[in-house]
């Protein structure tokens, strides 16, 4: 399982493989009001098969999907601290995420219809748009890439100094300094809809773990 948060954001994202679903749904954030994304393989290797939904109790809804949908392998649960999202909020988030998924064209969506946006006050709508922006920033960091828009054809065209501007979000991964397998260090920036790993990053040639 992976969890993701951002500084100065009340949102929380939990990504769980289906084989660990029972364990994940025991976590307190799984019983909150929020939106969720079910992810699986598509027949088209260029697409991600996905379903986007909302619920006042995410755990209860995903348990239902566990018995009725057999294709998904991962679930991302998106909630907010202190259960600050209400039913209208998550309906809005669901609608916006479906819109964004259709805009990129990189998802084979199981959603039959595009859910309408509920009526929100101007202040609530602005808050939810900011929430959506944060979600779309966090999801690529946990390998849910279906919302990314491919805007740069040459990956070598990125310049480190250009990427590291005030308008980009930086991600740093650092682990295993004293490991017998050697260290892992990575820097990346989300720039123009792409998650770009920097050239000084160091990885391993094979997976080490269970």
134 in a structural domain: yes
- pLDDT, tens digit (0-9, with 9 covering 90-100), for 150-181: 655 444 444 444 444 444 566 777 766 656 65
Percent of the chain at pLDDT > 90 equals 59
Return the pLDDT at 71.
96
Is there a contact between 11 and 131 (Cβ–Cβ < 8 Å)?
yes
pLDDT tier, 199 (very low <50, low <70, confident <90, very high otherwise): confident
Q: Enter the tokens of residue 174.
A: 């650092």
Q: Is 82 left (phi over 0), alpha (psi -120 to 50) or beta?
A: left
Is there a contact between 14 and 2 (Cβ–Cβ < 8 Å)?
yes
- pLDDT, tens digit (0-9, with 9 covering 90-100), for 115-154: 999 999 999 999 999 999 999 999 988 889 889 876 554 4
Is there a contact between 113 and 74 (Cβ–Cβ < 8 Å)?
no
210 in a structural domain: no
208 in a structural domain: no
- Domain extent for 131: 2-142
202 in a structural domain: no
List, in sequence order, every beta strand (DSSP E) within the chain.
2-4, 11-17, 34-41, 48-55, 74-80, 107-109, 169-175, 184-191, 194-197
What global pTM score does this model have?
0.73
Examine the domain organization and report whether 20 and 119 are in the same domain: yes
Return the pLDDT at 56.
96
Examine the domain organization and report whether 51 and 130 are in the same domain: yes
* Among the listed residues 33, 146, 130, 11, the one whose alpha carbon sits nearest the alpha carbon of residue 85: 33
Tell me how many domains the chain contains.
Answer: 2
205 in a structural domain: no
Examine the domain organization and report whether 45 and 138 are in the same domain: yes
CA distance 131 to 124: 10
Examine the domain organization and report whether 120 and 72 are in the same domain: yes
DSSP code, position 2: E
């Amino acid at each position: 399982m992976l969890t993701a948060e951002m500084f100065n954001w009340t949102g929380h994202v939990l990504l769980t493989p289906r084989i660990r679903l029972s364990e994940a749904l025991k976590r307190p954030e799984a019983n909150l009001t929020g939106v969720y994304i079910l992810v699986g393989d598509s027949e088209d290797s260029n697409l991600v098969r996905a379903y986007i939904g909302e619920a006042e109790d995410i755990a209860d809804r995903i348990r239902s999907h566990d018995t009725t949908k057999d294709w998904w392998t991962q679930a991302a649960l998106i909630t907010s601290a202190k259960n600050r999202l209400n039913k209208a909020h998550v309906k809005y988030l669901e609608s916006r995420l479906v819109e964004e998924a259709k805009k990129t064209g990189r998802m084979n969506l199981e959603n039959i219809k595009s859910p309408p946006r509920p009526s929100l006050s101007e202040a609530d709508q602005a808050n939810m748009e900011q929430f959506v922006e944060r979600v779309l920033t966090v999801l690529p960091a946990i390998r849910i890439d279906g919302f990314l828009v491919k805007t740069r054809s040459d990956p070598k065209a990125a310049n480190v100094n250009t990427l590291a501007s005030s308008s980009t979000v930086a991600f740093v991964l650092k682990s295993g300094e004293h490991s017998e397998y050697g260290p892992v260090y990575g820097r990346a920036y989300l720039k123009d809809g792409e998650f770009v790993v920097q050239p000084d990053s160091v990885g391993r040639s094979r997976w080490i773990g269970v």
